[in-house]
């Protein structure tokens, strides 16, 4: 068994600040860094937030408090026309284009683009109508679970199971729970859904990361689990891969000091490239789980191990006592486990000190 290749998602998000030129440069940076996927966010500010909605604390720290969340989102919208240019450019660069819809019209637009998969962010884990629409379209889905309990994740998966199954029953809490209990409906989840553990804070304090939750999610839902990393740096992403994360999502920016809500929790291109390289090294290091000598170490076995040797000169036929033999390198003779079976036997021939028995 070989270690599966980690899907590495470069989250460009809204770090383009509404500029197609910057968005195209982020595609290039993601491809140059070795990411598998470059991800954006697709939304209509009017459909996403009310005009009185306030910014999150991290957004206020990054962009100030003088404008509303709605006004900020308007500045950060990626026009639908830009998506076509980005998809074409991503295709040329050999990297998958992905986006997160935040409203139904945006989802319908992304579905029309025939993307390989859809990503739903943590804020919409409880948005049952949006989840149901994704599943009803039969889309492969990556679902982030920041801010969620296991119970809330189970509810979301019930919505998805009902949508994927196409049972035709009326959507609703009772139908979703029944779908979750139905093994046939849940099989759709195994074919379509991956979960991302994350902590919805930017940057995320390392004390709040809780990577152990990945194992809890994997055990509870029997689905692939990855990690969406909002911490400073990338060592937590590396730890997540070592713990079995099949997907790593990390924000990418051209400049961490740029104005915008997510730049401070992002990696610049050179650091993103270093993260990708480190993840690939870790994948190789994880191996197949079979504990056996590797080709590179076989030659060192006789050098590092020991053999049973004479501790003093012995005559042929002399009865060997505990003080007459000891263990020394090289390990090309009888192994030390034979020590006790040799005690009390007669020396087969004369031995000088350090001769192997």
- For the ranges 59-73, 174-188, 244-258, 319-333, which has the lowest average pLDDT? 59-73
Helix (H, G, I), strand (E, B) or coil at 290: coil
| Residue whose structure tokens are 């994704």 | 134
Placement of tokens 């270093």 in the chain:
274
Better pLDDT: 67 or 14: 14
* Among 52, 93, 59, CA closest to 76: 59
Predicted local confidence at residue 64, as pLDDT: 66
Q: What is the DSSP letter of 349?
A: S
- Specify the pLDDT at position 22: 96
Contacts of 312 (CB under 8 A, 6+ apart): 323, 324, 353
Query: What mean pLDDT do residues 46-63 have?
Result: 67
Could you report the per-residue pLDDT of 254-289, keeping only the tens digit for each?
A: 999 988 788 888 999 999 999 999 999 999 999 999
**Which positions ≥6 away from 249 have C-beta within 8 Å?**
9, 11, 39, 142, 144, 196, 198, 226, 227, 228, 229
pLDDT tens-digit readout, 137-163: 999 999 999 999 999 999 999 999 999
CATH class of segment(s) 7-286 = alpha beta
- Say which DSSP state 206 is in: G
- pLDDT reported for residue 316: 97
Give yes or no for residue 1 having a pLDDT over 80: no
Confidence of residue 71 (pLDDT cuts 50, 70, 90): confident
pLDDT of residue 86: 98
In what helix (H) or strand (E) does residue 193 lie, and over which residues does it extend?
Answer: strand 193-197
DSSP conformation class of 122 = G
Model pLDDT, residue 50: 66
Please write the tens of the pLDDT for every residue from 323-351. Answer: 999 999 999 999 999 999 999 999 999 99
For residue 203, cis peptide bond before it (omega within 30 degrees of 0): yes
Of 197, 257, 271, which is closest to residue 229 (Cα–Cα)? Answer: 197
Q: Is the pLDDT of residue 58 over 60?
A: yes
- Compute the distance between CA of residue 62 and CA of residue 258 in angstroms, rounded to an integer: 9
**Residue bearing tokens 């998805």:** 160
So where are the chain's domains? Answer: 7-286, 295-342
The confidence score (pLDDT) of residue 222 equals 97
How does the average pLDDT of the chain come out, rounded?
93
The Cα–Cα gap between 122 and 56 comes to 14
pLDDT the model gives residue 69: 73
267 SS3 class: strand
Strands 307-310 and 325-328: antiparallel
Q: Tell me the per-residue pLDDT of 122-133, one tens digit each, with 9 for 90 and over.
A: 999 999 999 999
Residue 106 is predicted with a pLDDT of 95
Q: Give the span between the Cα atoms of 355 and 281, in whole angstroms.
A: 44
Going by pLDDT thresholds of 50, 70 and 90, the confidence category of residue 87 is very high
pLDDT at 184 over 90: yes
Q: Alpha-carbon Rg of the chain, whole angstroms?
A: 29
pLDDT of residue 168: 66
pLDDT band of 78, cuts 50, 70, 90: confident
Cα–Cα distances in angstroms (integers) from residue 254 to residues 16, 24, 268, 316, in the given order: 9, 11, 5, 79
């Amino acid at each position: 068994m070989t270690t599966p290749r980690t899907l590495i998602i470069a989250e460009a998000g809204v770090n383009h600040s509404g500029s197609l030129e910057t968005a195209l440069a982020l595609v290039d940076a993601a491809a140059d860094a070795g990411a598998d996927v470059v991800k954006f966010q697709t939304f209509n500010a009017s459909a996403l937030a009310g005009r009185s909605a306030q910014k999150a604390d991290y957004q206020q720290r990054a962009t100030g408090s003088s404008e509303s969340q709605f006004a900020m989102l308007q500045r950060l919208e990626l026009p639908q026309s830009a998506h076509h240019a980005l998809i074409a450019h991503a295709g040329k660069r050999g990297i998958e284009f992905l986006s997160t819809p935040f409203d139904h019209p945006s989802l319908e637009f992304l579905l029309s683009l025939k993307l390989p998969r859809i990503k739903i962010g943590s804020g919409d884990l409880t948005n049952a109508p949006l989840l149901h629409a994704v599943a009803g379209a039969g889309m492969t889905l990556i679902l982030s679970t920041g801010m969620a309990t296991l119970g809330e994740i189970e509810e979301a998966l019930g919505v998805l199971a009902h949508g994927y199954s196409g049972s035709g029953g009326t959507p609703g809490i009772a139908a979703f729970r029944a779908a979750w209990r139905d093994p046939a409906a849940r099989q759709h989840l195994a074919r379509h859904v991956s979960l991302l553990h994350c902590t919805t804070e930017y940057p995320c304090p390392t004390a709040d990361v809780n990577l152990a939750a990945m194992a809890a999610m994997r055990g509870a839902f029997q689905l692939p689990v990855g990690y969406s990393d909002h911490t400073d740096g990338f060592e937590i992403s590396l730890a997540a891969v070592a713990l079995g994360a099949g997907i790593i999502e990390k924000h990418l920016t051209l400049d961490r000091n740029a104005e915008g809500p997510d730049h401070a929790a992002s990696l610049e291109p050179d650091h993103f490239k270093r993260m990708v390289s480190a993840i690939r090294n870790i994948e190789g290091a994880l191996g197949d789980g079979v504990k056996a000598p590797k080709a590179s170490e076989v030659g060192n076995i006789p050098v590092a191990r020991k053999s049973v040797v004479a501790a003093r000169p012995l005559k042929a036929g002399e009865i060997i006592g505990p003080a007459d033999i000891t263990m020394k390198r090289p390990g090309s003779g009888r192994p030390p486990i034979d020590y006790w079976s040799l005690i009390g036997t007669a020396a087969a021939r004369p031995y000088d000190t350090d001769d192997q028995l």
